[in-house]
Amino acid sequence: MWLIMTALAAVITTAIWYIRSPGDKYKLGLLSLIFWGATLMWFVDHVMAYLMEGGEFFEINLDATLLGISVIILALLVWEIVLLVSDPKGVLKRIKR
């Protein structure tokens, strides 16, 4: 389930980034790359596990859903930290003065 959720987040983030791409002030491209990297990593993991162990390709249960939610929250947290450090609107620079 976490593969599906991360892929969906990657597609949505990429679409939003593409619409707002000329002035990527909020670094949506970075968030999109984080989600695509996680999606690719888990896709390879799922394929290798399926080829080596067999069984079901997608795990759809509560644990997998909670893992998907926590991964999306962690990616958003990392993105927000990057935004705070880069300060695209200059809000933190005004507070320091």
Predicted pLDDT at 31: 95
Q: What is the pLDDT of residues 16-74, one digit of tens each?
A: 999 987 777 888 999 999 999 999 999 999 999 999 998 888 888 999 999 999 999 99
Per-domain residue ranges of the chain: 2-96
Predicted pLDDT at 47: 93
DSSP 17-69: HHHTGGG-TT-HHHHHHHHHHHHHHHHHHHHHHHHHH-S-SS--SHHHHHHHH
pTM for the full model?
0.86
